[in-house]
C-alpha cells in the first residue's frame, strides 16, 4: 500500500474533491482516505449521506445482538480486552455455554427485534473438541430464522468449512487498527494471521464481518490506514463494526484519552464512502454516546447497531432506550413492520 504523503490540509482537501464515485470500485491509498477525513465536516457528512442513500434506505436500521458464549481466559494480549488472560481485570474465565442457554438468548433477542445473532468466544482459535458444540449453536439459532454470526478467533480452512455447512451467515474477525499501529496494541497474533482468517472465511463462502477500534491512541493517519485495509479487501466486508474504545481497568489501554466525538463521526462517514454497500455498525462505546451523537452517526452512514444490554463484557444502551431513540428519529427496524416495532 502506498504510504501517506506529507501534505497540507488544503492539498488533502483538494485530493478528496477529486475522489468521485467511480473510484469506489478501485483501491484506496491511505493518503486518499486521509483526504476524506480532512474534508470540512459538513461536506464530509453530505457526501457520506449521499453515498448511503444510493445503496440503502436511510430510514432503516439493522439490529444485531451479541452474546458471549465463552468468556475470559483468552491467550491473546490485545491491549484493549478485558478477557485477556494477560491482564488483571474483573472478568473471570468461564466455560462454553450450554446449547439451551444460547438458544433461549437468541429467542429473546429475536423477540426484541434483532435479526442477526452473534456469538463470541474468547479463544485464540477454537479447538477441535469445541467445534461440535459450536456447530450445534449455529444450527439451532439458524433454525429460529435469524442470521447467524460467530467470532471465535483464528480459523483454518477446515473450521470455516464446518461453520459454513452448519449454516453460518457471517464470521467476525476485526483487523482492529492499521498495520503500522497494530504492534502497539497486540503482540501475540500477527496482522497477516488476521488476514489469513478472513481469506479462509471468504473462501468458505461465509460473509465477512470485520472492522476495528478507534480511540486507542492512534493518529488520524492510522484510522485512515485501517479504513483503507478494510476497503481494499476483495471484496470488502459485508459488515463493518466500528468500535469506540471502552477503557477497562487493568488493561494497557485503560488510561487512553477519549476520542473526539466528531472524529468518531468522521470515521463512520469515511467508512461509508469507501465501502458504500456494507453495513456500518455502531458497536462498543455506544453507551457513552448521547442521542444526538448517535443521530449524527446514522446521518453519516451507520445503519446497524448492536442491540441489547451488554456487548460481550462491556455495557450497551438498554433495549428500551434504543427503541425510543429509533422512534424519535423515525427509523425503522430492518425486517420488522411498524406494528412489531411498537410505533
Q: Tell me which residues are annotated as active site.
A: 74, 78, 81, 118, 149, 209, 281
User: Taking the mean position of all CA atoms in its chain, how far away is CA 10?
Assistant: 31
Contact 133, 98 (CB under 8 A): no
Nearest to residue 32, comparing CAs of 54, 51, 13, 45? 13
Cell of 233: 479487501
Contact 151, 194 (CB under 8 A): no
Helices 30-37 and 220-231: angle between axes, nearest 10 degrees:
120
SS3 of 62, please? strand
Residue 268 CB contacts under 8 Å (≥ 6 apart), including other chains:
48, 242, 280, 282, 297, 300, 301, 302
Alpha-carbon span 78 to 215, nearest angstrom: 14
Cell of 137: 449453536
SS3 of 150, please? strand
SS3 of 314, please? strand
Alpha-carbon span 103 to 142, nearest angstrom: 10
Helix (H) or strand (E) holding 12: helix 9-18
Amino acid at each position: 500500500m502506498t504510504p501517506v504523503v506529507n501534505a497540507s490540509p488544503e492539498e488533502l482537501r483538494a485530493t478528496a474533491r477529486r475522489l468521485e464515485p467511480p473510484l469506489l470500485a478501485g483501491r484506496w491509498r491511505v493518503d486518499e482516505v486521509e483526504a476524506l477525513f480532512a474534508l470540512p465536516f459538513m461536506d464530509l457528512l453530505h457526501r457520506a449521506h449521499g453515498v448511503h442513500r444510493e445503496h440503502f434506505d436511510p430510514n432503516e436500521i439493522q439490529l444485531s445482538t451479541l452474546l458471549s458464549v465463552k468468556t475470559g481466559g483468552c491467550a491473546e494480549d490485545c491491549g484493549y480486552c478485558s478477557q485477556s488472560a494477560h491482564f488483571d481485570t474483573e472478568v473471570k474465565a468461564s466455560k462454553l455455554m450450554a446449547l439451551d442457554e444460547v438458544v433461549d438468548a437468541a429467542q429473546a433477542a429475536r423477540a426484541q427485534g434483532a435479526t442477526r445473532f452473534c456469538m463470541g468466544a474468547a479463544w485464540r482459535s477454537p479447538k477441535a473438541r469445541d467445534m461440535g458444540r459450536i456447530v450445534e449453536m449455529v444450527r439451532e439459532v439458524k433454525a429460529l430464522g435469524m442470521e447467524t454470526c460467530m467470532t471465535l478467533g483464528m480459523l483454518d480452512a477446515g473450521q470455516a468449512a464446518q461453520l459454513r455447512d452448519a449454516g453460518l451467515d457471517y464470521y467476525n474477525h476485526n483487523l482492529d487498527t492499521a498495520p503500522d499501529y497494530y504492534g502497539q496494541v497486540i503482540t501475540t497474533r500477527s496482522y497477516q494471521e488476521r488476514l489469513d482468517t478472513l481469506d479462509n472465511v471468504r473462501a468458505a463462502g461465509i460473509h465477512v464481518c470485520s472492522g476495528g477500534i478507534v480511540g486507542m491512541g492512534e493518529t488520524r493517519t492510522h484510522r485512515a490506514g485501517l479504513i483503507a485495509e478494510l476497503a481494499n479487501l476483495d471484496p470488502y466486508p459485508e459488515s463493518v463494526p466500528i468500535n469506540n474504545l471502552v477503557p477497562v481497568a487493568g488493561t494497557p489501554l485503560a488510561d487512553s484519552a477519549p476520542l473526539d466525538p466528531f472524529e468518531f463521526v468522521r470515521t463512520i462517514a469515511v467508512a461509508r464512502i469507501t465501502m458504500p454497500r456494507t453495513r456500518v455498525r455502531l458497536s462498543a462505546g455506544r453507551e457513552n454516546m448521547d442521542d444526538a451523537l448517535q443521530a449524527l452517526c446514522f446521518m453519516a452512514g451507520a445503519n446497524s447497531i448492536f442491540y441489547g444490554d451488554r456487548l460481550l463484557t462491556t455495557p450497551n444502551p438498554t433495549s428500551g432506550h434504543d427503541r425510543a431513540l429509533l422512534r424519535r428519529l423515525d427509523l425503522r427496524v430492518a425486517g420488522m413492520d411498524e406494528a412489531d416495532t411498537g410505533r
